Chain A
């Protein structure tokens, strides 16, 4: 392990809807500075894991520590990119306005965003290649552009840990390339990124850390060590052959 400091430490995390467990007794250690994929079949609890870490869903047991402290004390260090489909894109607002929302957390209650916040939002828009669309109504953006806006909103938060729920869902190849480039830059700058990911083909190319999840934690570690047929089969239940060059 190139970095011994833990960004996230999860112990015995269990989440259930009624009596049905969605996540069962998860232990997970995520070192600082990794770009990590969470993979697993539909219903494996990937999004739920992120939401439980972020306190959006209340776990029935377990603890989550971010840099050694509870999440509530570390909010400022954490940014979240929800699934694109969770919001109403016909909401009456502009791209710039959505990105500005990333500054609201550091502003706190009541205080309004000013020139400084506007400036950092514009910088984030430029970073994701969307500056030209800053005044565009958000419903008039393509799926890929909307995803870029969500990424920009998280970038503005200037966090140490980024949680992303399927950032590549429904985006074209250009946007996927653009997003992964930014994610790798963030990792190289020492940030920790946790990404719910569906495309197994691209895991070795994009990520250096991976967690296999299917209600239980199957395996977690460096991609080069644990991204293999054995773990894929354990996670997906079928005999899996990785036709990928590692």
Chain B
């Protein structure tokens, strides 16, 4: 199970990074979101993969590690705030620069409108 989990994290990371390297803002934002999923999964797994052991104190002997969970929970929310900020920034950049290239490059006529 661990190997499968690790492979999944790796694939998500690779896909996210590939998108981050693209030249238009929207794929970069999507890539960042994908990357943050991968990172969250990675961080979450630092406490080990526990089945049926929620971190609730209710008499059960085996608990999942609550610390990575708390970290990832905040990371998810912060990740949303950052995604929102970046995507609005991308909109603003398009409105100011007239195109959606990550460097705000001037572009061929007709492109960037649609």
A binds B: no
Q: B residues touching A (Cβ–Cβ < 8 Å)?
A: none
Q: A residues touching B (Cβ–Cβ < 8 Å)?
A: none
